[in-house]
A and B are shown apart, each in its own frame.
Chain A
Amino acid sequence: MAGRMKVEHLWVRFTGEHGEVQALEDIDFSVEPGEFITVLGPSGCGKSTLIRSIAGFQKPEKGRILVGEREVSDPGPDRLMVFQEFDQLFPWRTVLGNLTYALKVKGVAKAEREETARRFIRMVGLEGFEKAFPHQLSGGMKQRGAIARSLALNPEILLMDEPFGSLDAQTRAILQAELVRIWQDVGSTIIFITHNIQEAILLGDRVIVMGTRPGTIKKIVPVPLPRPRLPETPEFMALWHELYSQLEVHRFGENGKVESLVSGKD
């Protein structure tokens, strides 16, 4: 795998009809190859903006993002995004077709495409649904299909924007466990957004905690727990409370920031 990813003093500002929003302010961190990073923060703190910048969909106002030696300027298949939305598989292609088509665009030889596609479909537990169209799948299955497509392209970095956000607790738990297993298999770097504290600890090597308006990094917390992680253990609970207090500080505000906090809360 290629070098580390660096986000260097990234600023992003939106100018719209409702005035200006400083979505990100001086975001600075780096990620080792193969690392699993979770980003935790309340709604509106700029998590999506951050991940969209890394994917190349969002131009920075200041600062830059490096993957190895290359500066990110455009979206590309080395940084694949799994979106929060359920409509990210192309509805006019079957599950298998979605994967083989992406492989074709990447330039994978025809003979290899189907085999690779089937392997990743199996990996996310969708075997038997290769010929199904996306509208015939449940929400969770669609997300798994999208994850399979991203993984099949073997990206250096997998960007996941609350991919399990609208799933029920049980499906979510299953997919979390699967994701960790797959990540241990393929070795991609993962940046995973969530606003769920438990999910952040369960998955990440490190948790980036963000604060809101402007979006900043409050703290980066390492998770020194062996996998698989169990939420009932005291170490887990301790981390949970630490992260919770980080978010709380934000929520009730440092002096004089009450207004921005009200609009930024979940």
Chain B
Amino acid sequence: MKKKPSLWKNHTFRQVLFVLAFLAIWEIVALSKIYPPLLFPDLVSILKALVESTASGEMVQRTWYSLYLILMGLGIGLLISFVMVALAMVSDIFADFMEAMVAINHPLPGVALLPITLLWFGSGEWGIIFVLVHSVVWPMMLNTYAGFRSVSRTQLEVGRNIGLRGLRLVTSVMVPAAFPYIFTGLKISWARAWRSLVAAEMIFGASGKDGGLGWLIYQRRFFLDTPGVFAALGVIILIGIVVESGLFTQLEKRTVQRWGMVVTRS
């Protein structure tokens, strides 16, 4: 311990150790056969299922489809929220309307909307995208609007003073100044959308031969292919980690942390 305090003090190192410990315990329990392998498969068979489904191209295709859906949902959701917030910034009446809409819709989980969505949109791709947009739009609006309203008066006036007006003032001063808020909105939106996506896919199933990771899990369970279910769960976790701890953390380091706009964990 005393020889390598620096490695043990590294957050990432410690977290990786915990994950490895968890996997080790999993494997011990699985190999001890306390539970039937059909319910509690060992890591090797999960890994085998993962390799097989990847090699056959199915896992890759399912993953792409899920990512495609979520990018559509995020894209449309972000667009709608920015337009709504922009309108709210210029009109007090619209701001009240928007805040009322957020208050009503924000607490509503996307999954709860699924039955209604099925009625409205049928069981196609657009039903899922509707649910995703719903999970993105409200937290995004809430945070972006709060961010714009928190922009310091001094910085806005500096912007106007050097000659910025209208849209240019928004993109050059308000958006970067509100970045910590926008960023928080983005993280919440992603988390919500990613979770609703998997749930929605299980209910909507595949449209045509297309279906995402959620649908894959559903299918595998149907065939009692438990290792396949866990393999798909593993991919979902992996994508979550890559986006949340990889992409977002890096983006945060390069922007708001670098600019000293948020408090950083040492």
Contacts and interface: CB of A to CB of B under 8 A. Distances in A.
Contacts of B260: 91, 133-136
5 contacts: A81-B161, A91-B259, A102-B162, A105-B162, A105-B163
Interface in B112-167: 152, 154-155, 157-158, 160-164
A90 interface: yes
B263 to A, nearest CB: 11
Given A81-B161, A85-B154, 11 more contacts: A75-B161, A77-B163, A80-B161, A81-B157, A83-B158, A87-B154, A88-B155, A90-B155, A92-B255, A106-B162, A134-B260
Contacts of A133: 258-260
A161 to B, nearest CB: 10
B160 A75 contact: yes
A197 interface: no
A193 to B, nearest CB: 15
Given A57-B157, A83-B157, A90 B163 contact: no
A222 interface: no
Contacts of A92: 176-177, 179, 255, 259, 261
A39 interface: no
A76 interface: yes
Given A91-B260, A135-B259, A77 B176 contact: no
B173 interface: yes
Contacts of A83: 154, 157-158
A106 B161 contact: no
A257 to B, nearest CB: 32
Contact of B161 (A77, A85, A134, A136): A77
Interface string B248-260: 0000000100111
Nearest to B161: A75
A153 interface: yes
A151 interface: no
Interface residues of A, number: 24
B164 A105 contact: yes
Contact of B157 (A75, A90, A105): A75
B152 A87 contact: yes
Contacts of A135: 259-261
Nearest to B153: A85
Nearest to A52: B157
A90 B175 CA distance: 12
A55 interface: yes
A81 B161 CA distance: 7
A81 B153 CA distance: 13
Contacts of A102: 162
Contacts of A75: 157, 160-161
Nearest to B157: A57
B161 A90 contact: no
A105 B261 CA distance: 24
Interface string A100-114: 011001100000000
B258 A76 contact: no
Contacts of A88: 154-155, 158
Nearest 7 Cβ contacts at the A-B interface: A135-B260, A92-B176, A85-B154, A75-B160, A92-B259, A102-B162, A91-B259
Interface in A136-175: 136, 153
Contacts of A87: 152, 154-155
Nearest to A84: B154
Contacts of A76: 161, 163
Contacts of A55: 161
Contacts of B155: 87-88, 90
A105 B157 CA distance: 14
Contact of A106 (B163, B172, B179, B261): B163
Interface string B165-187: 00000001100110100000000
A62 B161 CA distance: 23
B262 to A, nearest CB: 10
Contact of A153 (B152, B162, B176): B162
A153 B152 CA distance: 22
Interface string A50-82: 000001010000000000000000011101110
Interface in A91-127: 91-92, 101-102, 105-106
A130 to B, nearest CB: 16
A153 B161 CA distance: 11
A134 B157 CA distance: 18
Nearest to B176: A92
